[in-house]
């Protein structure tokens, strides 16, 4: 019995340490990455592109999700988490987290549709890829994402016991409705759109390249202007940004939904205190793991994408150095960062 109690204490301590340190790492990297994303994507070279503008607003939504969702977790080991004890704060925090994450993921799905439209050979479809249409999509998605989580203000409650979190759905029905809504609206439905339109974009790009090549041969011309090459280069890199992000999006978000549905399927089974401690650890791990999808986009763009994003970041950093005065040691550090980013 004593060994069983020690295992329970160990799992509970592991959960506490996970929430304290893992969430802090995600919080810091996510906040820094999304702020840099916002600064780079708001530059003149990229902000006029509808896909880049969708990335920009998605980064803002990710920043809100990470701050509202992880700030109290990072401080929970050193201060009282008021969202666990005050019901209205619990409801507001949960609503903001779920709505902002849904906005971020749906905007990525919309960016996939935009890439498909811009890659179509049909000129009428290409003309639909505009900044104005992207802005309309942002408004519709934001309103939709807020409306589908209105039930949070009824379903969620603070000071709960025998639940993975103290701020949680107060009934099984509430938890099921919330989890199903989030799973389909924020994860499954956007992922299906990303995969389908991503594949269609690849097909369009290949068909367009083949047609342009044949047309150039027929006209005896195979040259392009610098403006056309730059536009195609930006479009190519934006598609690569989206492609890598879709893969990691599925990797980071689906495990949390799978774990929850398995937990519902086993809800009628009688579990021991040790089983509950292990399940609580797994729940918190996948919950934090899902936040990686909100915080890793900047590092994807730097490591896996071409020079467009890096060049804009370096330009932004250089302009910052010019506008502000730094000491010699600070300049050396900044120059080192520029070299590392450029080399990556």
33-79 pLDDT, tens per residue? 888 888 888 877 777 788 888 988 999 999 999 998 888 777 766 66
Q: What is the mean pLDDT of residues 301-322?
A: 62
Q: How does pLDDT run across 283-309, given as a tens digit for each residue?
A: 888 888 888 888 887 777 666 655 656
Residue 213 in this model has a pLDDT that exceeds 60? no
* Two structure tokens written together for 271: 């579990």
Q: Please report the pLDDT score of residue 40 as a whole number.
A: 81
pTM of the model: 0.80
Q: How does pLDDT run across 147-195, given as a tens digit for each residue?
A: 999 999 999 999 888 787 888 888 888 888 888 898 899 888 998 998 8
Q: Name residue 157's beta-bridge partners.
A: 168
Which of 65 and 230 is assigned the larger pLDDT?
Answer: 65
Q: What is the mean pLDDT of residues 78-85?
A: 78
Q: Are 237 and 311 in contact (CB under 8 A)?
A: no
Residue 241 in this model has a pLDDT that exceeds 90? no
Q: Which residues contact 243 (CB under 8 A, 6 or more apart)?
A: 198
Most confident of 81-95, 201-215, 304-318, 319-333: 81-95
Residue 260 in this model has a pLDDT that exceeds 50? yes
Q: Say which range, 1-5, 30-34, 128-132, has the weakest mean pLDDT.
A: 1-5
Q: Is 163 helix (H, G, I), strand (E, B) or coil?
A: coil
Q: What is the mean pLDDT of residues 198-210?
A: 75
Q: Please report the pLDDT score of residue 327 as a whole number.
A: 47
Q: Is the dihedral of CA 290, 294, 295, 299 positive or negative?
A: positive
Q: What is the mean pLDDT of residues 212-227?
A: 56
Residue 196 in this model has a pLDDT that exceeds 60? yes
Q: How does pLDDT run across 5-43, given as a tens digit for each residue?
A: 788 888 888 888 888 888 888 898 889 888 888 888 887
- Mean of the per-residue pLDDT values of the chain: 78
Q: Could you write out the DSSP letters of every residue in 79-148?
A: S--GGGT-HHHHHHHHHHHHHHHHHHHHHHHHHHHHHHHHH-SSHHHHTT--HHHHHHHHHHHHHHHHHT
Residue 334 in this model has a pLDDT that exceeds 60? no
Q: CA-CA distance, 42 to 160, in Å (whole number)?
A: 42
- Tell me the pLDDT band of 229, cut-offs 50, 70 and 90: low
Question: Would you identify the CATH topology of the domain 2-217+236-305?
Answer: Rhopdopsin 7-helix transmembrane proteins (1.20.1070)
Burial class (CB in 10 A: 0-12, 13-18, 19+), 177: middle
- Tell me the pLDDT band of 340, cut-offs 50, 70 and 90: very low
Q: Name residue 13's beta-bridge partners.
A: none
Q: Where does the chain show beta strands of DSSP type E? A: 156-157, 168-169
- Tell me the pLDDT band of 330, cut-offs 50, 70 and 90: very low
Q: Which residues of 262-283 are buried (b: 16+ CB within 10 A; e: fewer)?
A: eeeeeeeeeeeeeeebbbbbbb
Which of 15 and 135 is assigned the larger pLDDT?
Answer: 135
Angle, vertex CA 317, rays to CA 316 and CA 319, nearest 5: 65
Residue 271 in this model has a pLDDT that exceeds 60? yes
Q: Which residues of 61-90 are buried (b: 16+ CB within 10 A; e: fewer)?
A: bbbbbbbbbbbbbbebeeeebebbeeeebb
């Amino acid at each position: 019995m004593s060994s069983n109690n020690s295992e329970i204490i160990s799992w509970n301590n592991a959960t506490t340490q996970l929430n304290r340190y893992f969430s802090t790492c995600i919080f810091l990297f996510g906040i820094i990455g999304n702020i840099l994303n916002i600064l780079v994507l708001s530059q003149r070279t990229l902000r006029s592109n509808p896909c880049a503008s969708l990335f920009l607003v998605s980064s803002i939504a990710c920043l809100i999700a990470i701050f509202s969702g992880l700030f109290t977790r990072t401080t929970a080991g050193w201060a009282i988490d008021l969202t666990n004890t005050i019901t209205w704060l619990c409801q507001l925090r949960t609503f903001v987290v779920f709505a902002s994450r849904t906005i971020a993921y749906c905007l990525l799905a919309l960016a996939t549709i935009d890439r498909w439209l811009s890659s179509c050979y049909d000129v009428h479809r290409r003309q639909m890829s505009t900044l104005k249409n992207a802005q309309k999509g942002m408004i519709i998605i934001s309103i939709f994402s807020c409306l589908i989580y209105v039930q949070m203000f009824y379903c969620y409650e603070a000071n709960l016991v025998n639940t993975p979190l103290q701020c949680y759905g107060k009934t099984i029905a509430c938890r099921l409705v919330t989890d199903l809504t989030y799973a389909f609206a924020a994860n499954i439905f956007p992922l299906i759109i990303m995969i389908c339109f991503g594949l269609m974009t690849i097909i369009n790009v290949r068909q367009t390249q083949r047609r342009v090549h044949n047309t150039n041969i027929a006209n005896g011309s195979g040259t392009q202007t610098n403006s056309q090459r730059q536009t195609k280069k930006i479009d190519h890199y934006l598609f690569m940004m989206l492609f890598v992000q879709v893969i990691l999006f599925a990797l980071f978000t689906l495990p949390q939904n799978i774990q929850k549905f398995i937990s519902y399927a086993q809800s009628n089974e009688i579990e021991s205190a040790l089983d509950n401690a292990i399940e609580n650890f797994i729940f918190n791990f996948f919950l934090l793991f899902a936040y990686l999808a909100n915080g890793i986009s900047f590092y994807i763009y730097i490591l896996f994408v071409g020079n467009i994003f890096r060049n804009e970041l370096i330009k932004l950093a250089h302009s910052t150095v010019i506008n502000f005065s730094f000491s010699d040691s600070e300049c050396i550090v900044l120059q080192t960062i520029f070299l590392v980013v450029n080399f990556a």
